């Protein structure tokens, strides 16, 4: 596909990288010459210096041949204008990043009235991800499928766990838990699970289950994590605003520490139920005085990655509470993954994955439609949910008879509001949602799982 990305900031850079890996042709536009040059040279894409909201610049970017324009500049209004002009100039599909809380409740109206394919808010999506891991504190990360009816959760096996030394197949045969193990991460390696794989302490495990079955599983393996009753958040930006909104009815007490007085005043006015502290959390004494040693969860949401990491590590040194750390740069993911940071949230990556899912759907082959897409292990394993259509070659064939590629796992079949953890005799039916875990990145359709 021919895709134009307007805005060469961190999100634009992440998008360019992500969409190039999917095999698309990318043109980037920005008013900053240095940013355009940096991205165009790094990724070998066409770069244009100028205002992406003008017909002249869009024509220079070949808007007539574009399939999609994505506007991710720092201005919501400019992004919307870029999409509006692009629709008139080239009649391509458009996606706008809209971050302001003032527009969050208007997103559906804006999308419909301006004819946008998507309105995406990275901060809102990051807040939703944080709210999920606070709801399931034993998980490093929680992703949902089939509109929340089934969840994929990632957790680290603690030292001394009763699961260490057991095989994957023992979860069903011995523990009698309806859980499907999908991947295991160990020593920088990622493994697609099979029944004979033996767990070790400190393994990072990804598994699929219905929420009630996940809770039963963690009780059986004696995974002890206290329910979260209170959370301390550092930084009162957009993500914090959305997170506080999501936590309003959760019976979780929230305390926010913010160094800017004007931001504190805004937070206090918008969220009277939240305790807002005007202070610099980098000062360890501030955290101690505010009771950081006794909290259930600690969330760092400043704009400085280094600050977020150091604050989380400091709290970890005195409190085994749930940690959530926001990271803007995805470049150092491999290094950060070795730190004891618990849950890490990458807003830029969330945005790129959401848009990539839409692009993948536009490129979809016959027989299925992609519903959900996540990079389960960055650059190594992804998980996708497909809906089976009537012309799919997979309908009615027992799973044991399918010639699957190596590195492919059919993790779940969602049918009639029920989650089936598949066995060899199960079949796919028209209308089923099927969850696939694979190390073959960028599958265009579910038929691509076959040899």
Q: What CATH number should be reported for the domain holding residue 264?
A: 3.40.50.720
Do 220 and 177 touch, CB atoms closer than 8 A? yes
Same domain (yes/no): 147, 244: no
Give residue 225's pLDDT.
67
Predicted pLDDT at 367: 52
Residue 307 lies in a domain: yes
Domain count along the chain? 4
CA angle 433–438–443, rounded 5-degree value: 75
Element (H, E) at 415: strand 408-415
- Same structural domain, 83 and 157: no
CA dihedral 372, 378, 380, 386 (to 10 degrees): 0
- Between these two residues, 105 and 9, which has the higher pLDDT value? 9
Residue matched to tokens 């004007």: 262
The number of angstroms, rounded, from the C-alpha of 327 to the middle of its chain's C-alpha atoms is: 12
The chain-wide mean pLDDT, for the chain, equals: 89
Same domain, 270 and 183: no
Structure-token pair, residue 205: 């495990």
Domain coverage including residue 422: 364-449
With CA atoms as reference, report the closest residue to 234 among 286, 298, 139: 298
Contact between residue 20 and residue 45 where contact means Cβ atoms under 8 Å apart: yes
Boundary (domain end) residue, out of 196, 220, 244: 220
| Same domain (yes/no): 317, 373 | no
Report the distance separating Cα 11 and Cα 126, nearest Å.
Answer: 14
State whether 110 and 26 are in the same domain.
yes
Q: Are residues 410 and 301 part of one domain?
A: no
pLDDT tier at 436 (50, 70, 90 boundaries)?
Answer: very high
Write the CA distances from 337 to 190, 222, 375, integer angstroms: 13, 25, 15
- From 220, 247, 263, the end of a domain falls on 220
CA distance 300 to 98: 23
Q: Do residues 58 and 14 both lie within one domain?
A: yes
Strands in 165-252 per DSSP E: 180-186, 189-192, 204-209, 230-234
Q: For 136-164, give the DSSP string.
A: STT-SEEEEEGGGTEEEEEEEPPTT-TTT
Whose CA is closest to 377, among 195, 203, 132, 185? 185
Q: What is the pLDDT of residues 36-83, one digit of tens each?
A: 999 999 999 999 999 999 999 999 999 999 999 999 999 999 999 999
Q: Residue holding tokens 């680290």?
A: 156
Q: What is the pLDDT of residues 212-240, one digit of tens each?
A: 888 888 888 878 767 899 999 999 999 99
Average pLDDT over residues 286-296: 96
Residue 351 lies in a domain: no
The CA distance from 308 to 305, in Å, is 5
- Where is pLDDT greater, at 22 or 49? 49
Residue 219 pLDDT: 82
Same domain, 244 and 214: no
Asked whether residue 358 is domain-assigned, the answer is no
pLDDT at site 217: 87
The answer on 313 and 253 residing in a single domain is yes
Instruction: Flag whether 353 is in a domain.
Output: no
pTM: 0.86
Say whether both 275 and 308 belong to one domain.
yes
Give the confidence band of 287 by pLDDT, cuts at 50, 70, 90: very high
| CATH of residue 146 | 3.30.70.1450
Split at pLDDT 50, 70, 90, the class of 368 is low
- Same domain? 325 vs 256: yes
pLDDT confidence of residue 365: 52
Is 131 domain-assigned? no
Question: Which residue pairs from 185-192 have beta carbons closer than 8 angstroms and sit at least 24 positions apart in sequence?
Answer: 185/377, 188/334, 190/377, 190/380, 190/381, 190/439, 192/381, 192/407, 192/408, 192/409, 192/437, 192/438, 192/439
In a domain, 275, yes or no: yes
Among 170, 196, 220, where does a domain finish? Answer: 220
Highest mean pLDDT among 208-212, 334-338, 417-421, 428-432 belongs to 428-432
- Same domain, yes or no, for 321 and 397? no
d(CA 209, CA 219): 14
Contact 29, 57 (CB under 8 A): yes
What pLDDT does residue 418 have?
Answer: 85
Whether 354 is covered by a domain: the verdict is no
Domain assignment present for 108: yes
Q: What is the pLDDT of residues 393-407, one digit of tens each?
A: 899 999 999 999 999
Whether the pLDDT of residue 360 is over 80: the answer is: no
pLDDT number for residue 94? 96
């Amino acid at each position: 596909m021919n895709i134009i990305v307007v805005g060469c900031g961190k999100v634009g850079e992440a998008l360019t990288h992500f969409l190039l890996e999917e095999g698309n042709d990318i043109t980037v536009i920005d008013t900053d010459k240095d940013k355009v040059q940096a991205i165009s040279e790094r990724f070998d894409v066409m770069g244009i210096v100028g205002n992406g909201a003008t017909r002249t610049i869009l024509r220079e970017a070949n808007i007539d041949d574009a399939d999609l324009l994505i506007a991710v500049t720092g201005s919501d209004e400019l992004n919307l204008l870029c999409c509006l002009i692009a629709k008139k100039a080239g009649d391509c599909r458009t996606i706008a990043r809209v971050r302001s809380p003032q527009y969050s409740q208007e997103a559906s109206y804006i999308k419909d009235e301006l004819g946008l394919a998507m309105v995406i808010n990275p901060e809102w999506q990051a807040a939703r991800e944080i709210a999920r891991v606070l709801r399931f504190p034993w998980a490093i990360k929680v992703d949902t499928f089939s509109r929340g009816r089934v969840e994929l959760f990632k957790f680290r096996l603690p030292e001394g766990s009763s699961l260490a030394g057991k095989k994957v197949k023992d979860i069903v045969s011995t523990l009698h838990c309806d859980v499907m193990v999908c991947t295991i991460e160990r020593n920088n390696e990622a493994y697609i699970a099979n029944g004979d794989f033996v767990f070790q302490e400190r393994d990072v495990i990804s598994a699929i289950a219905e929420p009630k079955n996940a809770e039963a599983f963690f009780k059986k393996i004696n995974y002890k994590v206290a329910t979260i009753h209170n959370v301390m958040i550092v930084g009162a930006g957009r993500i914090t605003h959305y997170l506080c909104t999501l936590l309003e009815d959760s019976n979780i007490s929230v305390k926010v520490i913010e160094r800017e007085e004007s931001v504190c005043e805004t937070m206090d006015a918008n969220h009277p139920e939240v305790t807002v502290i005007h202070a610099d959390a980098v000062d360890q004494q501030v955290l101690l005085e505010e009771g950081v040693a006794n909290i259930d969860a600690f969330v760092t949401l400043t704009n400085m990655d280094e600050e977020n990491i150091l604050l989380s590590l400091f709290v970890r040194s005195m409190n085994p509470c749930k940690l959530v750390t926001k990271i803007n740069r995805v470049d150092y993911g491999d290094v950060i993954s070795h730190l004891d940071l618990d849950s890490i949230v990458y807003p830029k990556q969330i945005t790129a994955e959401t848009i990539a899912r839409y692009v993948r759907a536009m490129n979809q082959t016959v027989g299925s439609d992609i519903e959900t897409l996540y990079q389960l292990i960055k650059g190594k394993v992804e998980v996708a949910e497909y809906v089976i259509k009537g012309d799919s070659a997979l309908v009615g064939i027992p799973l044991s008879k399918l010639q699957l590629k190596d590195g492919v796992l059919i993790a779940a079949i969602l049918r009639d509001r029920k989650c089936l953890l598949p066995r060899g005799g199960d079949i796919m039916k028209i209308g089923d949602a099927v969850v696939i875990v694979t190390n073959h990145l960028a599958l265009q359709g579910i038929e691509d799982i076959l040899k």
